[in-house]
Amino acid sequence: MKKQLFFAVFILLSLTLLFQNISADEGMYPISEIDKLDLQAKGLEISPSEIYDPEGLSLIYAIVQVGATGSFVSPEGLIITNHHVAYSSVQAASTKEKDYIKHGFLARNRFEEIPAKGRTARITESYKDVSAEVLNAVKVGMDYAQMTKAVEKKIKEIVAEAEKRNPGKRAEVAEMFRGKTYVLFLYTYLKDIRLVYVPPRSVGEFGGDVDNWMWPRHTGDFSFLRAYVAPDGTPAEYSPENIPFRPKRYLKVDPEGVNEGDFVFLLGYPGRTYRHRTSHFWAFEEEVRMPWVVDWYAWQIDVMEKIGNDDREIALKHLSRIKGLSNTLKNYRGKLKGMNRLDLVNRKRREEEALQRFIGEDTARQAKYKDILEQIGQIFEERRGQAEYELILEYLRRSVNMVNFGYTVYEAAVELQKDDLERESAYMDRNFPRTKERLLMTLKNYYEPTDRKIFREILRRASRLPEKYHIPALDRIIKKDDPERAFDGFIEKAYSSTDLHLESVLEGALKMSLPELKKMKDPFIELAEALYPTYQKLKEAQKARRGALGHLHGQLIDVKKQFLQKEFIPDANRTLRLTFGRIRGYKPADAVCYRPITTLDGVIEKTTGQEPFDTPSQLLELFKTKDYGHFSHPDLKSVPVCILYDADTTGGNSGSPVLNARGELVGVNFDRAWEATINDYAWNESYSRSIAVDIRYVLWVTQKFGNVAYLLEEMDVLNKL
């Protein structure tokens, strides 16, 4: 069946022409491009200025970034997003006695709403092209590392000046086309976000990893949050005196939902796509980086699941991490299978061969662009040689909590000695409070036996590196005569003699100078000091690589535009984008046709009584009595659960509102179909499909199952029923 599926997709993709990736998949439009689209000819019934108008109160003011995407759905700061987006905050608030992951969370009034720990929200206010200002920082004679540093410093200066001119706002500069165009975004930045209603895991995560990235789906992947501000209306940290934020615009909810063939559009903050990258990048991802990460994530998941099997309190500490790793793991496996079966790297190579022939047809082009692709290839060839060395260093800090704590503390002491604009971004005055908050959030879920096992495995993998890539600080631990015994001895001594896992100690260490840290004689701070030169050397090499690739990609974009004789939109980069399409099924294989709307009947069909298909008894009873209220589909005779559409999305679009032709909320995006896991590299209208929870299921669960009718009243839904 799977062979047929991918063969069918391969045939569909083969029908496209050279560079089809650039022309056909341009579906994530920057807000600056909206007025260039003839959306009304596509099916939009409102004016495009209703979506974005720099002089008016358009829909973009209802769109908020809360880790991924969310939307304001009431004048009282109520936000709807995905269950999986809110998941880490729910987990952070959960205990063995109050297991909000398992049982859900419900605030029956404002006083019962609790902080969504680690959660902030930002709203796009404006944008401005600052490409010339950024690129003017690059001077003749600079090497690539110096170019990268000059660009980074100029961006920091632009951001600092923008925030000075706009007190209380948050500024960011986004690279749109690599090494070529830069845009300054100004955001309202809200810091007090609270949990309002989160359905239990058996609804919000129904199907679990089994159904993840698959269609048909029957998952109630939604949650409600609320944003608060100080009594004077300014953004503020959590305080009981804070009041609900009043957005400039909020989305109207259409409880009638959508039907097959209806026009829809999405606004949101898609993560990163790589469609304008070269075959060298794609091949590196397919052959080197993604397989390594898949193996490493699978190993960690197995360890954490086994350790938490018999103790719910330990399992709760692991849940959010496992969920994140599992999501990426399955996504990467889908990408790898799709890239291999569709032969995407070789297709990209053929596109580049056509581009190279175009370059060779003109003497001036040849002089300027002849060696671009070859130079990019050389950079990736060098990167391949040291890939595992870099990955081990990256995941030594990312995966081993105690190494992360020690290194962050040490690096903070180094960076805080510098002028603010000279520091690494995480340690600048504007960012350091959040850096500390994230570190302390990680500490909440720290479990020493798990950390020991992960650290030991990283050491074992580091011990297998070729001699030229040995890491000096780890070589002191890895004794060649008996490495296994050395691992165990160091780990036992280090973990038994550190206090850095204590919140008061970690918080205190983040305030210390280097001499003060050295007096602590903490083994993980000492390890950080030993690792620091290696990380600094790697950082310099990566800056040089980024500078070189940025320069080359800027030229590549220029010549591709000449070749295609058209403009094309930049890859997604976590900035506000619009995408549109229709409610539409697809045919993944011969004689297989997927319809675009699933229903409550499918939830019942999948229910086994065992996780992850353990539908709550109350929901089963509602189905048995056909208590659908106003949310039954007239033709399907059941409550719609999920919808499928051909709009172009990627990671970060989780939580994006699915809006009908009138700009009303009809769904909340949360996933893509399995065949669309390769969307980051290539998109095709025949098989790229995205998935949302239908607004009718959201409202039905909220009213009938959650008994939270006041939220429907707040969203002005009851008056429409």
Closest CA to 574 of 176, 222, 276, 48: 176
Asked whether 612 and 206 are in contact (CB, 8 A), the reply is: yes
Radius of gyration from C-alpha coordinates of the chain: 26
Closest CA to 678 of 381, 178, 343, 323: 343
Helix or strand (DSSP H, E) at 227: strand 223-229
Give me the residues paired with residue 185 across strands: 127, 172
CA torsion, points 201, 206, 209, 215, in degrees to nearest 10? -150
Distance CA 403, CA 386 (A): 22
Give the type of residue at 339: M
What residues are annotated to the active site?
Answer: 84, 221, 654
DSSP string, 491-549: HHHHHHS--TTSHHHHHHHTT--HHHHHHH--HHHHHHHHHHHHHHHHHHHHHHHHHHH
Asked whether 608 and 308 are in contact (CB, 8 A), the reply is: no
Residue with tokens 């397919």: 286
CB atoms within 10 A of CB 556: 24
Is residue 270 reached through a cis peptide bond, with omega within 30 degrees of 0 on the bond before it? no
Asked whether 643 and 596 are in contact (CB, 8 A), the reply is: yes
Distance CA 263, CA 36 (A): 18
Per-residue HEC secondary structure of 232-254 comes to CCCCCCCCCCCEECCCCCCCCEC
What are the structure tokens assigned to 313, written together?
């309190």
Helix or strand (DSSP H, E) at 574: none
* Share in percent of the chain as helix, strand, coil (round to 5): 50, 15, 35
Helix or strand (DSSP H, E) at 385: helix 372-385
Helix or strand (DSSP H, E) at 300: helix 290-308
Distance CA 206, CA 219 (A): 5
Give the type of residue at 135: L
Closest CA to 63 of 509, 578, 447, 451: 578
| Coil vs helix vs strand at 581 | strand
What are the structure tokens assigned to 393, written together?
């260093």
Residue with tokens 């974005």: 52
Q: How far is CA 138 from the centre of its chain?
A: 31
| Coil vs helix vs strand at 568 | coil
Asked whether 645 and 72 are in contact (CB, 8 A), the reply is: no
What is the DSSP pairing of strand 182-190 with strand 121-129? Answer: antiparallel
- Going by the DSSP 8-state scheme, the letter that residue 569 receives in this structure is P
Neighbouring residues of 317: CB distance < 8 A, sequence distance ≥ 6: 308, 444, 445, 446, 447, 450
DSSP string, 105-147: EE-SSGGG-EE-TT--EEEEEEEEE-HHHHHTT--TT--HHHH
